[in-house]
Structures are given as C-alpha cells and as structure tokens.
Structure 1
Amino acid sequence: MAAKGFVKWIIVATTVIAAVLELIDTTIVNVALTNISGNLGATIEDTSWVVTGYAIANVIIIPLTGFLANYFGRKNYYFYSILLFTISSYFCGASNSLEMLVFFRILQGIGGGALLSTSQSILFDAFELEERPIASAIFSMGLIVGPTIGPTLGGFIVDNYHWSLIFDINIPLGILAAAMVFLYIDKKPEEYHIDRSKIHIDRLGIIFLALWVGSLQYILERGQSEDWFNSKLILGLAILCVLTLGLFIWQELRTDKPAVDIRILKDPNLAMTTFIALILGFGLYSSMYVYPVWMQRLLGYTATETGMSLIPGALFSAFCMPIVGKLMQKGAYPKYLLFVGFGVYAIFSFWMSLASPMAGMVFFVMPLLIRGIGLGFSIVPITNQAIAGLKPEEIPQGVAINNMIRQLGGAFGIALMNTYIVRKVAGVRGHLISFITPDNPAFVEKKNLIMHGLIAKGVNVHQASATAMRMIEGLVDKQAYTITYVSSFQVIGVFFVCILPICLIMKKTKVNGKVEAGH
C-alpha cells in the first residue's frame, strides 16, 4: 500500500540517504589508498583489498537481498543492514591495522548490499503505480550523486583531514537513517508472522552465487595488477567462475525456492533492461574512471578540484531526472528516452576525445553538462522499466538482479579501461620514443631550443643536455597519456553508438499505469 503525505517523503529521504551512503562508499576510499597505506605500514597492493573486499561482499549480497528480505522480513533486514553498515564504518575508522580495516570493510559491504536494492523496492511501494516514474527519478538522483560525491568528498578529506573521517562521516547519517526506518517504515502484513521453519534456504544456490560472483569480482578488481591470465591465481579463479556460474544457473532453475529467482528474466522487458543496465554501468563507471586520472595525472589538479568539476554535471543530471520522470508519467515510451540518453552520452564521449594536451578545466565544462543530460535520460527509464510488468512479489528480485548487473557492468568497464590504458600508453610511448633520434630534425631543434634557454640561465652544457632530454621525455609521456585518454573516450563513444539500435528493439512499453507492460 502506498504511503501518504508526510510519511511518504520521510520514506523518500530515508531510502535516498541509505542508497547514497552505499554508493559513496564504493568510490570514496579510492583516493585515500596511498594515505591508508602509509599510515598502516602496508603496501599499496595489499591496501587495495580495502576496495576489493568491500566490492566482493557488496556484489554477492545484492542479488540475495530479495531472499534475505523474505527470510528476515524486509523492515528488519533493512534496519539491521543499516546498523551493520554504520557500526562497521565506526570500526573501519578506528582500525589500527590493515587486517582489521579489511575485515570491517567486508562487513560494511555485506551491510551495504541491502541498502541499494531494498531502498529501491521500499521506495516503489511508497508510491502508486502511476507515480513510480517520479519515484525512479528521485532515486536515480542518488545513483548519480553518490558516485560523484564519493571521490570529491574523499579528496577533500584526504587533502585536509585524517583518512579515518572517510568512514566516520557515515555514522551520523547511518544513525539517522536507522531511526527513520524504525519509526516510519511499516512492516508488510506477512512480515508479522514469518515462519522461518517453512522457508527453504537454497544453500547450494547461495554457495555457487558467492563463488562465481566473488571470483569474477576479484578477477575484475585485480586482473591488471596481477597480469591477467599469466597469473595462475587469476586463471584458476576464471575456471572457478565459469564452472560455478553454470552450477548456479542449473541449481536456480531446478529448485522450486531459489535464492535468486532468475526465472523472472524470462520476462523480455526485464531481460532487456538488465542488459542495458550492464551497458550503462560500463559507460558510467569507465568514463568516470578515466576522467579523474586524466585531470590529476596530466593537468595537475587535486582530487578535490577534480571532484568539484563533476558537481555541475551531477546537478544538471539531477535537474533533468524529474523532467524525465514527468515525461514517463505522461506516457512517454522508455525506449525513446533511452535512445536519447545513450545518444547524448555518446556525444559526451566524442567531445571528450577532442581534448588537446593543453586543455584546461574550462574545456571539460560543457561535455560534463552534456553527460548530465545523458544520464538523466538513461537511468530513470532503466530504473523504472526494470520492474514494469513484474508482479509485486517479484519486484525485489528484479531490482536486485538489475542492480547487480549494473555493478558488474561498472566493474567490467573499469577493468577493461585500466588494461586498455596501461597497454595503450606503453604502445604509444614506444612509438613516440622512436622519433627521439639525432636523425630527426624536429627532435634536434626542440632539444637545442630547450638547451639554449637553460644555458642562458647559467646552466652548463652537460646539465642542460640532460635536463632537456628529461623535459622531452616528460612531453612524450604527456602526449602518450593524452592520446590514450582521448582514444579511451572514443572507444566508449563507439560502444554507445553500437548500443543505440538495441534501445529501439525494446517494446513500446508505457509505464504510467495506463498501458500494461509488454503490450
């Protein structure tokens, strides 16, 4: 039953706060790894488990949220998940060893796994069917704001305070969210009398899920640093991933009470939107992986300045989302909105690929605003379309599957871009270095010009020659990275262009409650 008046907006605030907390913590730690490493006396490779442990726990829990909500009762599961997330955040900030920090990050990931999908299903229940596009728009703001605020807030804290504050800031918001859940979110009628002895626990399904998702996430998180399939561990995990994925599908199709009801993917609407969510996750996370590195490595901006540059686009996206929600509420077809969103995102990607080595922050303002429009027209239709046509009892499973696939799409995007950048830079740099020879007049002229300037300042010839070579090598490195980052966005843009026809294949499903999904 939909909520009314004041309570409805309390539920909105609660679910958005919880979802934003979870999404912020997927990215906020990334900028602090060097500080954590130095403070705890660990290598940067070992410290990366602070990110990997959270990601693995998070992505395993997300598809299980539907089952866990049924088993414990949705309100209880949501409430205690927020408490687990909040308490774990406190102990993360209080950690005095890497082992302690990683352990509580894993617990934080387990608690956080419920915050996204369960928040979404609670929010949808608070709105009437015809109002759900607006609910999608409100919730989607959190999907944009969370990943945007994460690096910005993390960079500001690292630049000005101790890294433990990254986790401590979760505590007051977590307590507030838990209190609002306790006071304002009602239990469903069936939650008052749960007979857990009659609820089948699909132990094999849970085990297979944990193994295939966990191994896949580890491969994507650590593959590049461990040289992919040249590593016996990565190769072994890849085999385990494929094997347990097959066993998971077999188990979930054969049991009457699966942990994750993948049968609902027979619904063509959910199957299509889940695939598109994978694509969106790829584009969203891969582009936002490349951009901060570009700003900081080549242009010399701090993490705070880089994060701040993303704020206008995120606000513009938040402005667009209610408009898109209203359009859907009035009967606009999601397929056309998605086509516009992905097309605009492709324009953003190609615009970014026009940057020169001397591009300043001003150059990036307009493409980032365009990105905001693309996200506004992409996320809202996907979020709402994922549940169109599902029965009420199927919505938690549909939302959970959709969110898991989007997260995996992001992990794929980051892993592929990371590998692409490392290998592309090496190839481009090698090609450019081949032109630094005494036979190349352009090189000789550039070196002599630099040397003459140094000698004029009193530097001796030998030092001037060595300094000139270092400066030229620095220019080569900058050019190699610029070419690589530019081509990265070209790849992302081409990818979105190729996906545009798939958007048009979707059925003309209105989701305003007037036209039944799939018709």
Structure 2
Amino acid sequence: MTNENSLVEYGFRRVIITFTAILCALLEIVDTTIVNVALNDMKGNMGATLNEISWVITAYAIGNVIIVPMTSWLSQQFGRRNYFAASIIIFTIFSFLCGNSTTIWELIIFRFLQGVGGGALLVTSQTIITESYPVEKRGMAQAIYGLGVIVGPTLGPPLGGYIVDNFSWPYIFYINIPLGVIATLFALRYVRSPKYAEKKSGRQIDWLGIGLLAVAVGSLQFVLEKGQEEDWFNSVTIIITSLMAVLGLYFFIWRQLTFSNPIVELRVLKNGNLRVGTILSFILGFGLYGSTFIIPLYTQATLGWNATQSGLLMVPATLATAFLMPFIGKLLQKGAPQQYLAAIGMALFVVFCLWGYKILTPDTGADAFFWMLIMRGVAMALLFIPITTLSLSTLKGQQIGQGAAFTGMMRQLGGSFGIAIISTYMSRQNWHHRADLVTHLNTADPDVMQRVQGYQQAFMAKGMSADVAMQSAYKALDYNVLKQASVLSYMDVFTFVGVLFLVCVPFVLMVKGNKKAAGLAAAAH
C-alpha cells in the first residue's frame, strides 16, 4: 500500500472484500423485488386487503430512501466497518422477524426497519469497492459492483416465485439469514475504516437535519408509491404528503448549508462530474426499474404467464449484462471516454424500446422477447459502469462516500419516479384507448355482429341459453377491447421511455471528458 491512509487492498483481502460488498448489494436489491410474487400468499395468509399488503413494498422503499443520503455521515460517526456490519445485522434480524410476522402491521413495521438496514448496504458497498481498488482500476471495480445492482432486480421475481411455489412465503426472508451471518463475519474481519472519519460529539449531531431528511424523502417516496392508487392530487393524503416533501426538502437544504456539521454534505455537488452523474443515475434508475416493472406486468396481466415464467424471461438479458461488464471495465481502464460509452448505452436502450413497441401484441410468443431483452442487457452494461465511474472519478477520501450516497439515492428515486410515471401514464392511456376502440364497435356493423354471434354460438355449444350466451358474448368482446387497449398502452410506454432516453443522448455527449482529472487523482493516490 502506498501510505497508511490508503484503503486500496491487494490479493486475497481484495477478493474477500469485493465478495462481501457484492453479496450485501445483492441482498439489498433482491429484497426490493423478491416479495412482489409473494404478495398474494401473504394477503391470504394474513387476511390483509390489497391496499394493506402493498405497504410491504412501500415500507421497505421508504426505509431505504431515508437512510441512503445519511450513510456517509453515519460511517464517519461510528466507523465504516462498524456501521457496515451493524447494517447487515439489522437487515438480517429484521429479515427473520419479517418471516415470523403474524399480523400485516407487524410485517410492515419490520419491512420498514429491514429497509433502513438495507439502504446502507447498497451505498456503503459501492464506497468500499471503489476505495479498495486503485484509481486506474475503478472502472473494473464499478463493473464488479454493477453486477449486484443490475442482476438484483431481475433475480428477485424468479427466486421469489420458486420459493413460494416450493416452500412458503416466510422463506423469502429466511434465505437472508445465513448470507447475512457470513457477510457480517467477513465485514468485521476484513473491512477497514478510513482514517479521515472524525466522530462528532452528541451536541454536534444535526438531529433537526435528520428529522427534516426523513420527512422530505419519506413523504416523497410515499407520494410516488401511492399516488396512482390514491388518484394523485384528488386525494387529501397525497396533497398533504406532497407539501411535507416540498417543505421538508426546502428546510433540509437550508439546514445543511448553514449547520456546521451537516449530515449530508451538499457542497460535494460542486464537483461537475458528480452533478452530471447524479442526473444520469436518476435516468438510469428510471430505465432499469421502469423496464423491470413493465415487462413482467405485461407478460402476467396480458399474456397470462405465471410469476416464475415472467422472472425467467429476464434471466438471459441479465447474464448478457454480467458477461459484458468486465469488458466495459477493461475499456474504461484503457481510457475509453465514459460519456461516449454512456451515450451508446442510451442509444441501444432507445433501440430496445422501439423493438418492444414493435413486437407487442395480445398474444406475443416468448421467443419474440429474447433478442430484444439481450439488447436491454447490453444497454444496461454500457450505462451503469460509465455513469458510476464518471460520478466518482474525481472524488477523493470521504467525498467518495458522499458521492456514492447521492448517486445511490438518485438511482432509487429515478426508479420510483419511473414506476409512478409509467403506471399513471398507462392507466390514462388505457382509458383513452378503450374509449377510442369502443367508438368503432357499432352494432350496425356486420363484422361486429358476426363476431358477437360467433361468441354466442360458442357459448350456446357449452350449454348456455341464448340470452345468457348473448350477454357472455358481449362480455367476451369487452374483454378483447380491454386487452387491445392494454397492449396499446404498453406500446405508448415503450415510445415514451424511448423518447426520454433519445433526448438524453446529445446531453451525455456534451459532458466533458475527465482523463486529466482521473490522472491527477491517480497521482495523488
């Protein structure tokens, strides 16, 4: 090692630290999506309503997003190794308690606290990996870390589907326990705390800042998760939480800029690369989580697939991402400009969206998705590593942790915004397309009546009376209209996301290269 303050590791230690960090990132991200396929079983087991059971997802996301911006500060307060290990322990204990829950509100509270432990794992893992590698190898470090972030959301549904089909829903939480124990032991044995961390006394802790941050991001996450369900600003609850988010954010920013020991160091955003990186991380989250949300929804709701089939559909694309990441890390090590690789990634994501638009029908076959999703996998590999490397490339010391917290939070908020905007847009477009299609169904049209009579004859052949068969025929026609309207809505979503990414391409190309800065950072190291 070059000096006693260096956190760069070599040989076996680096392998173990890298393994531990990826394991923790995977644990955290898999748990964001693994419960989706078990909600129905939980609902029946606990006698919960659909609205109550959806809080199992919302509570975890709120716990995540509250803690992420504070991770750098908490690492300084308690020492990175202690804080990282404590976060794994909190995540593991509350995983066990989630599996043991007997009422829905117990499960929701434990999921929130599991999210508080989990949120720290993601950002601290990124910081640990970044600082364990020399500056010239940080592209490769981000490639390795990216495996967890990209694979996680895709791995959740098929793994959850397999566990629910073969065991029972508590095991989706129990699976975390042995992995959490291994990760804790490795973290305590191998992870080192940086020398620059200075613990603040109790009087210097910004309790007001912590409260304002929790109100601001917690309320924002609630609005994004529940907005569509509550009919947005027609709901008093959404109006109140939106005001809390806006006012909380305003006063939080004011507090951080005026308090002597802020919990979130906003001044680190003076770094141009980090500023650009946080915006690109938001867009990356929008595309990553938005597409992970929309494709399984389409295959299950429209094509009638089960959760395991929908989850497995995404696996080849994830493997393509995993295969490509080390090569992209090597390209960055050899000096390939991050902004060009990210722009190519965005352009390929546009191609993926247009491809999706083209193949969607009410009965698309599984084979039609394969190459389209491989394209998504290639695009994600080209986006993730250059964006994270660009964001952190000119940061040093504790700024790396602060920068990782910003990019992590923005990626997560991008995902939440993506899912909220997509679900709202789809529901509006669905209504619009249905109304439009119904205007073409005229009972005087011989083609329409021929279709209705065909349905009627089919139902009568099953033993229905003529009048009941006619009612069923109209219901069947209405179902087909709804299905067609739904497919048109999915096509609109692919167009919308594709246009968003296309607009971003020229802006990414305008970002200045940072080879010189990276070289200076390497020299300083």
TM-score interval, smaller chain: over 0.9
2:32 matched to 1:45? no
Please state how far the C-alpha of 1:26 moved relative to its aligned partner: 1.1
Contact 2:321 2:380 in 1 (8 A): yes
Q: Which residue of 2 aligns with 1:464?
A: 469
Residue 228 (structure 1) aligns with: 232
Paired residues for 1:471-490 under 5 Å: 471-490=476-495
The verdict on how the C-alpha distance between 1:511 and 1:143 changes in structure 2, with shifts beyond 3 A counting, is farther
Alignment of 1:317-466 (within 5 A): 317-354=321-358, 355-455=360-460, 459-466=464-471
Kept in 2: contact 1:510–1:516 (CA 8 A)? no
Structure 1 residue runs without a partner (length 5+): none
* Aligned counterparts of 1:286 and 1:88: Cα–Cα separation in 2: 28
> How far apart, CA to CA, are the structure 2 residues paired with 1:479 and 1:137?
40
**Superposition deviation, residue 510 in structure 1:** 2.9
Whole-angstrom distance in 2 between the partners of 1:366 and 1:213: 38
Report the alpha carbon displacement of residue 461 of structure 1 after superposing the two structures with TM. 2.9
Residue in 2 aligned with 1:112?
A: 118
Q: Which amino acid aligns with 2:211?
A: I
**Aligned 8 A contact 2:394 2:518 in 1:** no
- Which residue, out of 66, 78, 84, partners 2:84? 78
Q: Is structure 2 residue 33 aligned with structure 1 residue 27?
A: yes
* 1:507 and 2:512 matched: yes
Deviation sequence 1:386-418 (CA, Å, 0-9, x none): 111112121100000110011001000000111
Match for 1:318: what amino acid? A
TM-score by length of 1: 0.96
Deviations 1:12-66 (A, max 9, x none): 1000000000001111112222211111111110121111111111101000000
Residue 216 of structure 1 is matched in structure 2 by 220
The residue matched to 1:28 in structure 2 has which SS? helix
Segment of structure 1 superposing worse, 169-178 or 470-479: 470-479
Structure 1 segment 37-436 matched on structure 2, within 5 A: 37-189=43-195, 195-197=199-201, 200-354=204-358, 355-436=360-441
Per-residue deviation, 1:466? 2.4
Take 2:196 and 2:355, find their aligned partners in 1: how far apart are those partners? 52
- Residue deviations 1:137-181 (CA, integer Å, cap 9, x gap): 000011111111111211222233211111011111111111111
Offset at residue 515 of structure 1 (A)? 6.1
1:234 & 1:300 partners in 2: Cα distance?
Answer: 33
SS of the residue aligned with 1:359? coil
Match of 1:496 in 2: 501
**How far apart are the structure 2 equivalents of 1:391 and 1:234?**
40
Deviations 1:471-492 (A, max 9, x none): 2112111101111111111111
8 Å CA contact 1:79, 1:181 repeated in 2: yes
Is the deviation greater in 195-204 or in 444-453?
A: 195-204
Seen in structure 2, the aligned counterparts of structure 1 residues 198 and 511 have a Cα distance that, compared at 3 Å, is: farther
Q: 1:212–1:241: 8 Å Cα contact kept in structure 2?
A: yes
| 3-state secondary structure, aligned to 2:102 | coil
What is the Cα deviation at residue 455 of structure 1? 4.6
Output the CA distance in 2 between the equivalents of 1:328 and 1:486.
Answer: 35
Q: Which runs of 5+ in 2 are unaligned?
A: 1-5
How far is 1:190 from its partner?
5.5
Contact 2:135 2:521 in 1 (8 A): no
Q: Report the RMSD for the aligned CA atoms in angstroms.
A: 1.7
Contact 1:509 1:515 in 2 (8 A): no
User: Could you tell me the TM-score, scaled by structure 2's length?
Assistant: 0.95
Q: What is the rounded CA distance, in whole Å, between the counterparts of 1:504 and 1:186 in structure 2?
A: 37
Q: Which deviates more from structure 2 when the two are superposed, residues 77-86 or residues 441-450? A: 441-450
Return the alpha-carbon distance in structure 2 between the equivalents of residues 390 and 478 of structure 1. Answer: 50
Q: Could you tell me how far apart the structure 1 residues matched to 2:483 and 2:231 are?
A: 24
Could you tell me whether the CA contact under 8 Å between 1:8 and 1:126 is conserved in 2? Answer: yes
SS in 1 for 2:88: helix
1:187 alignment partner, SS class: coil
Counterpart residue type for residue 102 of structure 1: I
One-letter code aligned to 2:314: L
Q: Is the 8 A contact 2:256 2:266 kept in 1?
A: yes
C-alpha distance in 1 between matches for 2:185 and 2:55? 31
CA contact (8 A) 1:62 1:114 kept: yes
SS state at 2:515 partner: coil
The question of whether the paired residues in 1 share the 8 Å contact of 2:288 and 2:415 is answered with yes
Deviations 1:286-327 (A, max 9, x none): 122111110001111110010001000000011111111100
Taking the aligned partners of 1:334 and 1:382, their CA distance within structure 2 comes to: 7
